[in-house]
Amino acid sequence: MTDLARLFERVRARAEQESADLPPRVGEQEIAQAESVLGFTLPPVLNGLYCHVANGGFGPEYHLLPLTGNGRTTVAEYGPLRAASDGYWPHGVLPILDWGCGMYAAVDCLHPDAPVLLFEPNAGPEDWADAWFLDSPSLAQWLSTWLEGTGWWEEDGMVADDAPEPTPWADAAARIAATR
């Protein structure tokens, strides 16, 4: 069994433990349709989550958005974020979780490690690049943090004296400039 397969098993078990009503998994045809609309392929770990765990409805706090379907989905959120006149949302950065108050967890689908980014626009940055932070170097690590209960969003993580400060996303300015 591969590391990814084990990760999907662990995520699925936790998701089932937290919700008896998980959405159904998506199929390869739905993935292909989503990728066609988005204009890029999903990284293997994100593809696998939707195919092997569920179409959203699990994960930290407010849970991952569904990939496809009715209502709020990652595909439906991506288009308007990219179309915003401010040009603050880079191509290939897929919102996967709405933290509320305009904040999103997003996956950089153009990077092989699929890093998880935090978009935090509430400080009213003069430069949109200042609203982007690296939450985790990979989606797999981000999920492991959730499984272990050690994410910054956990109550203990938020109030800990040694809580890590957000790290600015080094590629933000270049990726935003390429978007415009």
Q: Is 85 exposed, middle or buried (0-12, 13-18, 19+ CB in 10 A)?
A: exposed
Rounded to an integer, what is the distance from CA 84 to the centroid of its chain? 19
- The pTM assigned to this predicted structure is 0.93
CATH number of the domain encompassing residue 12 = 3.40.1580.10
The DSSP symbol for 166 reads P
Q: Is the pLDDT reported for residue 156 higher than 70?
A: no
Q: Is the pLDDT reported for residue 134 higher than 80?
A: yes
Distance CA 129, CA 13 (A): 37
Residue 73 domain boundaries: 3-179
Q: Look at residue 34 in the predicted model and tell me its pLDDT.
A: 98
Q: Is the pLDDT reported for residue 140 higher than 90?
A: yes
For the segment 21-65, what is each residue's pLDDT rounded down to a tens digit?
A: 999 999 999 999 999 999 999 999 999 999 999 999 999 988 999
Q: Look at residue 98 in the predicted model and tell me its pLDDT.
A: 96
Q: Is the pLDDT reported for residue 131 higher than 70?
A: yes
11: Cβ–Cβ under 8 A, 6 or more apart, which residues?
49, 53, 58, 59, 143, 147
CB-CB neighbours of 131 under 10 Å:
21
Per the structure, the count of domains in the chain is 1
